[in-house]
Structure 1
């Protein structure tokens, strides 16, 4: 699954998500009304109270409204509580009236939560209820229908992810996962996310950077080649892609690599 990025303005961080966060797990909520995910996110981001959450999921889409590397005020356990400071808050929509919209929202939420578990290398044990942190009977409709039932749904989705599933992670560096802002099964979605955050690159599951917005590359940059052809049309051999090169010239959409005196297209380079 792929979260839609609709992130809160940084000028609201002080109110809605004032602390950096290295997440430890996921906290499940039900919205207790019948609004769409888009409306839930919009209302959370624009109102003047501090209550906040990371993700809203309805029957059609899942939206990330607060960066996962920032905390959110959703768990009801205080300013230094584990839920508020270390858990990703996920709101499942349409829980007031229930019915097919809620059923399908819950199914989609199970997929999104499983994707997060896969992304962070977590298991079902990293999932909590809002109730676990504050005592509030939430996620109310999910609890009414059976909490273990919902965990089983997530586990089934997690089992569908196998070792061959490629996830493209959007990070500043591979070594530091804390500021990661997304993991995508579709490369183009990962690239779009990186384009919106130019200091970030796209890494494959082996930790190799395979994309970064080309306009970050300047003369003197250290780069790697990821394209298939030189600008002359000749095929780039695999051994060329294993090394790091220095940009000596940039002309329109072409770049001259110093060490091999060859021209390649700017779009076929990533920062090393």
Structure 2
């Protein structure tokens, strides 16, 4: 998990921020080809903000061994792929530059880029096949330090596991219960809940009135039959569900990529007046509570529910 710092190029700098709308379909990976000391993500941010030396060039993110700078909104295209004004690379791909400054750790920068790309793939439903090199669009030898290990780099990105529903192997009906032989009943329950954890099945069992659920075969059958008959009566929706949450903290308020207070799970920071448009739920975390929220792209995060730091509206 890496800190992402947003410093958007001013809209007036059309050579670096053309402003054309984009629905990203690809992610294009670059190397900066700048090995000078200090040529990190922050330096490249300043370079773009200062006009890029008069060049017509602009990309979305620069990644180094410590942090990520974002230069363009993800609903705007940039000039980075070298395939022309109407090229798919420029018009439909998110551009990511990986730093190679000699005073940085290139391996760590690559790892940070892997993390970032995985987030973007999830948020924008971009498949592994559509994560490509700069060379893919224009033939340029870029990303020069990754081209000879591109297959390995792609393998690091593709760490997902399919959760495919496997139909029951055999079904035997009786007057009282329907019995599923084999482990497929667990697959069936998981497929309904879209969650493979025992904790999720235990929650469903409680919703359907099964107390002290331990995941035994008999309890699985009981749960399955109750689920087939229909969902339990819905509970009143809390008033905060679907509302916006906003930081009222004078400093930078942390938000997390999972329900946690740990530094290791910090996803970013909110300035006062910034927030998330949709509250999904409220969860207990340690001795406090957090709101599970979604941003405008549908990505899920967690932020404190304390009225000392946030307001709901």
TM range (shorter): 0.5 to 0.7
Q: Deviations over 1:164-191 (max 9, x none)?
A: 9xxxxxxxx9xxxxxxxxx962698666
Q: How far is 1:150 from its partner?
A: 0.6
Q: How far is 1:211 from its partner?
A: 8.9
Match of 1:141 in 2: 145
Over alpha carbons, which structure has the higher Rg? Answer: 2
- TM-score normalized by the length of structure 1: 0.60
Q: How far is 1:269 from its partner?
A: 4.7
Which stretches of structure 1, 4 residues or more, deviate above 2 A after TM superposition? Answer: 13-18, 186-191, 200-206, 208-212, 265-271
8 A Cα contact 1:21 1:71, kept in partner: yes
Asked if residue 192 in structure 1 is aligned to residue 196 in structure 2, the reply is no
Kindly tell me: are residues 82 and 268 of structure 1, through their superposed partners in 2, closer, same or farther at Cα, counting changes over 3 Å? same
2: distance between equivalents of 1:150 and 1:62?
A: 19
8 A Cα contact 2:15 2:57, kept in partner: no
| Structure 1: 5+ residue stretches without partners | 165-172, 174-182, 213-225, 229-264
Kindly tell me: are residues 209 and 150 of structure 1, through their superposed partners in 2, closer, same or farther at Cα, counting changes over 3 Å? closer
- TM-score normalized by the length of structure 2: 0.53
Match of 2:278 in 1: 203
Superposed, which structure 2 residues align to 1:171-186 within 5 Å?
185=257
Q: How far is 1:202 from its partner?
A: 3.7
2: distance between equivalents of 1:163 and 1:62?
A: 31
Residue 141 of structure 1 aligns to a residue in which SS?
Answer: coil
2: distance between equivalents of 1:68 and 1:26?
A: 11
Match of 1:219 in 2: none
Q: 1:91 aligns with which of 90, 97, 122?
A: 97
Structure whose residues are more often helix by fraction: 1
Q: How far is 1:63 from its partner?
A: 1.1
Kindly tell me: are residues 36 and 268 of structure 1, through their superposed partners in 2, closer, same or farther at Cα, counting changes over 3 Å? closer
2: distance between equivalents of 1:114 and 1:204?
A: 23
Kindly tell me: are residues 202 and 77 of structure 1, through their superposed partners in 2, closer, same or farther at Cα, counting changes over 3 Å? same
1: distance between equivalents of 2:14 and 2:258?
A: 29
Match of 1:239 in 2: none
Asked if residue 66 in structure 1 is aligned to residue 87 in structure 2, the reply is no
What is the RMSD of the two structures over their aligned residues, measured on CA atoms?
3.6
Match of 1:153 in 2: 156
Q: 1:81 aligns with which of 84, 87, 90?
A: 87
2: distance between equivalents of 1:12 and 1:129?
A: 26
